[in-house]
Chains A and B, each alone.
Chain A
Amino acid sequence: MDIKYINPFINSTTNVFEDFFKVSPVVQKPYIVRSNEDHEWDVSAIIGIAGETRGAVVISFTEDLATLLTSKLVGRQITTIDDDVVDTIGEIVNIIAGNAKKGLEEYRLMISLPSIIKGKNHQIAWPVKNLPIVGIPFKTDFGPFTLSVGLENIITEG
């Protein structure tokens, strides 16, 4: 895979966590995600990408991390995935995708409104069949999360 197209997403993810939560996430080794594989995440926020490619950006959290991050942002303790958690992780993926466009300016891209999917081992329906998806794991002091990116003809397995 070409790291040139992964870096904008890593950078925008790092920036949003530092600005919003005063946390510096540490990126781990990216890998190719097989669709529908089992995972440990409780909630994901997905944003579609259209224009000169098709694809999506997905950020996935455990319930513990999603509620903890939202608690930090709103200043009260949240223990379940409520409207504030949905709002927060939707805004996180919106900022990650929108900011990453700055590093992908050779392509004119449009982003959708975010959607939230929750539930144990929930599955993402990616907008393009057989799209290579890159999983970018991050670690924080409060727990791990992962960013998944698939962009047709831009992110490839080669």
Chain B
Amino acid sequence: MKILVVDDSRIMRSIVKNTMKTMYNIEDGFIEASNGEEAYKALESMQVDLMLLDWNMPILNGIDLVRKLRAMDKYKALPIIMVTSEAAKYNVIEAVKAGVNDYLVKPVTEKNLYEKVKKYLE
């Protein structure tokens, strides 16, 4: 199982990883990226099973990365959960239209992260 955690905040990446480790007893298998471009490079170099993706990031933001990936056949089925502070309904609609599988509004808690990721990990 390889999970790509993409967020420009190192502390947020740690919170997401530690929460996932506690829930699923996953020690290894996390890859981190601090923007969309780094995430794209990571995807090109290895097989990833699930991506947890922030929206607002420098260089290449999350929504533009989703659009780029969904335009490519090999990434059409990659499970992507957007994990973002953007809580407006129009943001959720925009992300779903771009091709995210699920949407989680920060702050991340163990309960709401568990609810979102369980169907992709079981």
**Residues in chain A within 8 A of chain B (CB atoms):** 12, 15-16, 19-20, 73-74, 84, 87-88, 90-91, 94-102, 104-105, 108-109, 111-113
Contacts and interface: CB of A to CB of B under 8 A. Distances in A.
B58 interface: yes
Interface residues of B, number: 22
Contacts of B89: 102, 105
A94 B87 contact: no
Contacts of A97: 85
A109 B11 CA distance: 26
Interface in B67-97: 84-91
B85 A94 contact: yes
Interface string B53-71: 0001110000000000000
A87 B87 contact: no
Given A91-B12, A99-B85, A105-B89, A113 B56 contact: yes
18 contacts: A16-B107, A19-B107, A19-B109, A73-B11, A74-B14, A84-B10, A87-B9, A88-B11, A90-B9, A94-B9, A95-B106, A98-B85, A98-B87, A98-B106, A101-B91, A102-B87, A109-B88, A113-B58
A24 B57 CA distance: 29
Contacts of B84: 98
Q: Which of B9, B14, B84, B109 has the most chain A CB atoms closer than 10 A to its own CB?
A: B9
A72 to B, nearest CB: 11
A74 B56 contact: no
B112 to A, nearest CB: 10
Query: Which applies to chain B's interface (DSSP): helix, strand, loop or mixed?
Result: loop
Nearest to A109: B88
Given A15-B107, A113-B58, A87 B88 contact: no
Contact of B9 (A16, A19, A91, A100): A91
A95 B85 contact: yes
A64 B57 CA distance: 28
A88 B56 CA distance: 15
Contacts of A98: 56, 84-87, 105-106
A33 B10 CA distance: 33
